[in-house]
């Protein structure tokens, strides 16, 4: 399950970054910055999932 969550978070982070660029292109700098933060946070969560996976092994 953790591998699944990791992959999904990677996809979500990519989508957040894409939408951040669209927002910035449309003059929505603050919204774009928040979406970039969300992408960074998703990848930070993945670090926790990867550590947990290392402790319990592949599912």
Q: Rounded to whole angstroms, how far apart are CA atoms 21 and 32?
A: 6
pLDDT of residue 11: 98
- The whole-number pLDDT of residue 58 equals 67
Tell me what the mean pLDDT of segment 45-50 comes to.
98
Q: Is the pLDDT of residue 57 over 90?
A: no
When pLDDT is cut at 50, 70 and 90, the band that residue 59 belongs to is: low
Question: In degrees, to the nearest 5, what angle opens at C-alpha 44 toward C-alphas 16 and 3?
Answer: 90
Instruction: Read off the pLDDT of residues 4-40 as tens digits, 9 standing for 90 and up.
Output: 999 999 999 999 999 999 999 999 999 999 999 999 9
């Amino acid at each position: 399950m953790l591998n699944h969550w990791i992959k999904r978070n990677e996809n979500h982070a990519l989508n957040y970054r894409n939408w951040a660029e669209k927002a910035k292109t449309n003059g929505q700098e603050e919204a774009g910055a928040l979406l970039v933060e969300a992408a960074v946070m998703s990848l930070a969560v993945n670090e926790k999932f990867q550590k947990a996976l290392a402790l319990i092994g592949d599912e």
